[in-house]
């Protein structure tokens, strides 16, 4: 069966404030969609809600994965089904080595994979090198003292190891300088396009990353709603004119 | 790469899961209750010299004269509901094969013989009141190292014994040291001669097997000049629903330039009061290291102390305490800087969960004249839910201007966004929580001997991965 992630009329709130106001979105296997929109429009909220962050309350609507209603599933179960989120602000885990983190995550996803310790090291190091990542990060605490670029690469490395069916990539491009951005975008492309190609929802409000990855579709989120969808051309138009014209249209 | 991560795959697990009962013979099991005649009978069964019997009786008087300490955890302990002597079998084996089958199987199940073969210089097994097994590598024995259960040491080395017994811990130190003086039985006796280094650890395994039992081990470690030794004690018991009492006295003598590391992995069942007095006297340039993993028991009161009496002496106290449902962990450290250039480091990590209470109680004293003494104290607490508590009572007395004392403390909870982040990588909530807790403990876990850090790691994981379950 072909993989599908489908979001139907999704409403969600936090602390009594409605942030998502009826989102509809359908992502098919191997598709790359860009989700754009001004700051505070609800992009990260959507990402977290898809992943099952319990701090948000879903008040209406549903999320389906291959026809299965996952609206009330725990986060770890969603992960095991094949959903993944790279965090806009990756969280620091004091005292937890990145390597230990990766190995534990890998072992819950692939319980029957019996790589030895040494084989796993080699495996991780080869992935890390592919992403042009400094392997010394593996023996540091997760995200602690990582630079912006290192954090983002570490997110991509996790994604590369777990091989999800759908990845939600939240502002992997924010806070990076031009060189770091290019490196991150390349690694991301490498990871997404490695067969079998992942489906992905690429959240950004900049154009620059989309130049590296060609999205199949572009959606614009404003004030908790997808107000416009189109092709790559829409992204180009936003780069040129900003979001104002869309606001005016609505 | 972190060595621990690698060893996780290799080292067998089982060493501290002790919830099963050994069907030993039990030629002597005392009725519950404490009296002069109980004390006399213990001494007679052991065929002790007269001085020891008199010592015990005097200790009993001191015990009776002292009130139960009120400043700590609630001690609703009925001293008349404890059996003060429990002899599992009249055996003092030097080879595992020589133990009665039931007892041997117990230790096999706990993994001790295998550990001894792989990582230890020797081991002692104390079952209930008596040592049933003691062995040390031949080369060490030839160099004059003594490693015996304490009763055998009294019989074989009476003079050495008398010199160090209840010396740094005087019998009247507190109510429980007096109790130990009166009814002590079992424990480890270690003597390391000058210039001898015991390369692999010595390990004593304490096990309480019956209900309403008291275990009053007395451990003495003497490290002569320029020697070194690492000692580990493991503690387990099956679960009953009456209170039992483990009340030990540990005395450590670290001579000039010697080094002693004392590691405890305590996983008593949740019906045991664990009230101990542990103290070290550290001479010139000597090093004392206390490492404690306090996982089990109902109530623990334990504040290992280091008396730094010689110039340049140092002490380190690393403690991990986990207080779960119906448990109170009162842990701490006490360091007296009684000479110039002495240094100490105290790191205490407490976890409170499911309504458990953890307390850090510490004392650092730097009197005038302890020039350039240095001390660093760090106590961190992690509180996993609303019902659980942590209290920190650090007490610092500094009277010497040239000394430095630094103190850090933190108390925190697990962040929801941390849980979410880890869960988004496929770990369950319990696994995520366990990962955060182990991260919190990492400062201590990375400093202790590998095998034991892994063992602690596993035990903590076990408790935390049941977090969302029953209870
Ligand atoms: N924990 C929170 N408490 C209250 N409001 C929040 C919280 N998290 C996000 N919001 C609000 O939700 C809105 C959408 O935020 P977010 O999803 O992060 O936007 P974006 O990712 O598009 O920049 C913002 O107005 C933000 O202030
Ligand atoms: Mg955002």
Choose among B55, B302, B62: nearest CA to B178.
B62
CA angle (B464 as vertex; B458, B468 as ends), nearest 5: 150
Q: Is A105 in the pocket of ligand 1 (CB under 6 A)?
A: no
Candidate of A12, A13, A14, A174 to mutate for ligand 1, largest count of ligand atoms within 8 Å of Cβ: A14
Q: What is the mean pLDDT of residues B170-196?
A: 97
B429 touching A, CB under 8 A? yes
Give A211's contacts (C-beta < 8 A, 6+ positions apart): none
Instruction: Output A86 or B326, whichever has higher pLDDT.
Output: A86
State how far the Cα of A139 lies from the Cα of A152, in Å rounded to an integer.
17
User: How distant is the alpha carbon of residue B227 from its chain centre?
Assistant: 22
pLDDT above 90: residue B244 = yes
Classified as helix, coil or strand, B394 is: strand
Tokens of B279: 């103290």
Ligand 1 centroid, distance to A42 Cα (angstroms): 6
Alpha-carbon gap: B425 to the closest alpha carbon of chain A (Å): 6
Cβ atoms of B383 and B413 within 8 Å: the answer is yes
| Chosen from B11, B347, B424 to mutate, greatest number of chain A CBs within 10 A | B424
Q: Is A116 in the pocket of ligand 1 (CB under 6 A)?
A: no
Phi–psi pair at A56, nearest 5 degrees:
-100, 145
State how far the Cα of B349 lies from the Cα of B95, in Å rounded to an integer.
38
Residue B282: pLDDT band by 50, 70, 90 thresholds?
A: very high
B442 touching A, CB under 8 A? yes
Ligand 1 centroid, distance to A13 Cα (angstroms): 10
State how far the Cα of B202 lies from the Cα of B191, in Å rounded to an integer.
12
Classified as helix, coil or strand, A14 is: strand
Q: What is the mean pLDDT of residues B205-220?
A: 93
pLDDT above 90: residue A87 = yes
Q: Which region holds residue B197: left if phi is over 0, alpha if psi is between -120 and 50, else beta?
A: beta
CA angle (B262 as vertex; B331, B268 as ends), nearest 5: 55
Q: What is the pLDDT of residue A1?
A: 59
Q: What is the mean pLDDT of residues A77-85?
A: 98
What pTM value is reported for the model? Answer: 0.90
Partners of residue B2 in chain A, C-beta under 8 Å: 97, 99-100, 139
State how far the Cα of A58 lies from the Cα of B29, in Å rounded to an integer.
63
State how far the Cα of B188 lies from the Cα of B202, in Å rounded to an integer.
10
Residue B470: pLDDT band by 50, 70, 90 thresholds?
A: very low
Q: How far is CA B314 from CA A118, A123, B257, B379, B405, in A?
A: 39, 44, 10, 19, 14
Q: What is the pLDDT of residue B289?
A: 97
Which residues pair with residue B389 across a beta bridge?
B357
CB atoms under 10 Å from CB of B221, counted, come to 23
Q: What is the mean pLDDT of residues B243-272?
A: 95
Domain ranges of chain B: 28-302
Candidate of A13, A44, A89, A206 to mutate for ligand 1, largest count of ligand atoms within 8 Å of Cβ: A44
Ligand 1 centroid, distance to A55 Cα (angstroms): 12
The pLDDT tens digits of the residues spanning B363-422 come to 999 999 999 999 999 999 999 999 999 999 999 999 999 999 999 999 999 999 999 999
B142 touching A, CB under 8 A? no
Three-state helix/strand/coil letters over A80-119: HHCEEEECCCCCCCCCCEHHHHHHHHHHHHCCCCCCCHHH
State how far the Cα of B101 lies from the Cα of B279, in Å rounded to an integer.
36
Tokens of A137: 């990060």
The pLDDT tens digits of the residues spanning A100-119 come to 999 999 999 999 998 999 99
Q: Give the number of beta-carbon pairs within 8 Å between A and B.
A: 94
Ligand 2 centroid, distance to A244 Cα (angstroms): 19
- Contact call for B1 and A80, based on CB within 8 A: no
| Chosen from A93, A125, A154, A161 to mutate, greatest number of chain B CBs within 10 A | A93
CB atoms under 10 Å from CB of B211, counted, come to 16
Q: How far is CA B321 from CA A158, B86, B219, B316, B411, in A?
A: 33, 29, 22, 16, 14
Share of chain B above pLDDT 70, in %: 96
pLDDT above 50: residue B343 = yes
Partners of residue B423 in chain A, C-beta under 8 Å: 52, 74-76, 79
Measured on CA atoms in the order B334, B340, B342, B343, is the torsion positive or negative?
positive
Q: What is the mean pLDDT of chain B?
A: 92
Residue A195: pLDDT band by 50, 70, 90 thresholds?
A: confident
Q: Is A127 in the pocket of ligand 1 (CB under 6 A)?
A: no
The count of residues in chain A is 250
Beta strands in B324-466 (DSSP E): 328-337, 343-352, 357-366, 374-383, 389-398, 404-412
Q: What is the pLDDT of residue B471?
A: 35
- Contact call for A117 and B440, based on CB within 8 A: no
Domains with residue ranges and CATH for chain A: 4-249 (3.40.50.300)
Q: Which region holds residue B211: left if phi is over 0, alpha if psi is between -120 and 50, else beta?
A: beta
Considering only A24-38, B139-153, B228-242, B366-380, which range has the smallest mean pLDDT?
B228-242
What value of ipTM does the predicted structure carry? Answer: 0.97
Residue A139: pLDDT band by 50, 70, 90 thresholds?
A: very high
Q: What is the mean pLDDT of residues A21-43?
A: 95
pLDDT above 60: residue B53 = yes
The pLDDT tens digits of the residues spanning B112-126 come to 899 889 889 999 999
State how far the Cα of A79 lies from the Cα of A74, in Å rounded to an integer.
9
pLDDT above 70: residue A248 = no
Q: Is A191 in the pocket of ligand 1 (CB under 6 A)?
A: no
Q: What is the pLDDT of residue B362?
A: 96
State how far the Cα of B423 lies from the Cα of B431, in Å rounded to an integer.
8
CB atoms under 10 Å from CB of A18, counted, come to 15
Q: What is the mean pLDDT of residues B228-253?
A: 92
């Amino acid at each position: 069966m072909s993989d599908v992630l489908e979001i139907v009329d999704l409403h969600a709130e936090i602390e009594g404030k409605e942030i998502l106001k009826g989102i509809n979105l359908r992502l098919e296997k191997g598709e790359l969609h860009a989700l754009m929109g001004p700051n505070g429009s609800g992009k990260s909220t959507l990402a977290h809600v898809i992943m099952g962050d319990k701090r948000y309350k879903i008040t209406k609507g549903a999320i389906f994965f291959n026809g299965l209603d996952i609206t009330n599933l725990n986060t770890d179960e969603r992960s095991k089904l094949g959903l993944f989120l790279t965090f806009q602000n990756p969280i620091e885990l004091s005292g937890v080595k990145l390597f230990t983190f990766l190995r534990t995550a890998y072992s819950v996803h692939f319980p029957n994979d019996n790589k030895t310790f040494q084989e796993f090291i080699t495996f991780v190091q080869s992935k890390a090198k592919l992403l042009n990542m400094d392997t010394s990060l593996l023996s540091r605490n997760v995200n602690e003292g990582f630079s912006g670029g290192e954090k983002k690469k570490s997110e991509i490395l996790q994604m590369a190891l777990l091989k999800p069916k759908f990845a939600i990539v939240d502002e992997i491009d924010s806070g990076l300088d031009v060189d770091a951005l290019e490196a991150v975008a390349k690694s991301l492309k490498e990871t997404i396009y490695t067969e079998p190609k992942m489906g992905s929802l690429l959240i950004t409000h900049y154009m620059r990353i989309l130049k590296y990855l060609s999205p199949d579709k572009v959606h614009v989120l404003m004030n908790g709603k997808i107000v416009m969808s189109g092709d790559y051309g829409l992204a180009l138009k936003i780069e040129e004119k900003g979001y104002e014209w869309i606001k005016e249209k609505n | 790469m972190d060595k621990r991560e690698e060893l996780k795959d290799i080292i067998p697990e089982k060493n501290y899961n002790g919830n099963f009962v050994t069907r030993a013979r039990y030629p002597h099991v005392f009725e519950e209750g404490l009296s002069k005649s109980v004390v006399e009978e213990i001494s007679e069964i052991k065929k002790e010299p007269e001085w020891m019997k008199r010592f015990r009786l005097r200790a009993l008087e001191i015990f009776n004269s002292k009130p139960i300490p009120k400043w700590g955890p609630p001690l609703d302990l009925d001293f008349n509901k404890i059996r003060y002597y429990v002899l599992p079998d009249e055996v003092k084996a030097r080879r595992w094969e020589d133990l009665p089958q039931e007892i041997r199987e117990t230790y096999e199940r706990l993994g001790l013989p295998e550990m001894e073969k792989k990582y230890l210089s020797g081991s002692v097994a104390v079952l209930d009141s008596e040592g049933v097994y003691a062995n040390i590598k031949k080369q060490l024995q030839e160099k004059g190292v003594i490693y015996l259960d304490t009763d055998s040491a009294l019989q074989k080395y009476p003079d050495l014994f008398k010199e160090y017994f209840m010396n740094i811990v005087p019998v009247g130190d507190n109510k429980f040291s007096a109790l130990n003086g009166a009814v002590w039985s079992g424990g480890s006796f270690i003597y390391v001669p000058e210039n001898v280094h015991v390369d692999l650890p010595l390990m004593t395994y304490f096990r309480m097997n019956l209900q309403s039992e008291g275990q009053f081990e007395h451990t003495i470690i003497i490290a002569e000049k320029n020697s070194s030794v690492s000692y580990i004690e493991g503690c387990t018991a099956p679960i009953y629903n009456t209170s039992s009492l483990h009340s030990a006295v540990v005395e450590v003598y670290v001579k000039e330039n010697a080094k002693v590391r004392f590691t405890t992995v305590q996983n008593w069942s949740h019906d045991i009061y664990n009230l101990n007095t542990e103290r070290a006297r550290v001479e010139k340039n000597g090093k004392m290291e206390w490492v404690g993993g306090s996982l089990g028991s109902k109530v623990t009161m334990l504040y290992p102390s280091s008396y730094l009496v010689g110039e340049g002496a140092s002490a380190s106290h690393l403690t991990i305490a986990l207080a779960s449902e119906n448990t109170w962990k009162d842990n701490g450290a006490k360091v007296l800087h009684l000479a110039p250039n002495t240094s100490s480091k105290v790191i205490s990590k407490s976890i409170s969960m499911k309504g458990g209470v953890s307390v850090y109680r510490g004392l650092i004293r730097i009197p005038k004249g302890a020039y350039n003494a240095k001390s660093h104290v760090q106590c961190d607490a992690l509180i996993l839910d609303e019902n659980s508590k942590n209290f920190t009572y650090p007490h610092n007395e500094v009277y010497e201007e040239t000394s430095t004392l630094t103190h850090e403390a933190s108390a925190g909870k697990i962040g929801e966004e941390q849980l979410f982040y880890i869960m988004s990588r496929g770990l369950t909530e319990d696994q995520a929580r366990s990962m955060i807790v182990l991260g919190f403990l990492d400062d201590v876990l990375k400093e202790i001997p590998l095998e034991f850090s892994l063992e602690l790691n596993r035990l903590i994981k076990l408790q935390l991965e049941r977090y969302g379950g029953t209870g």
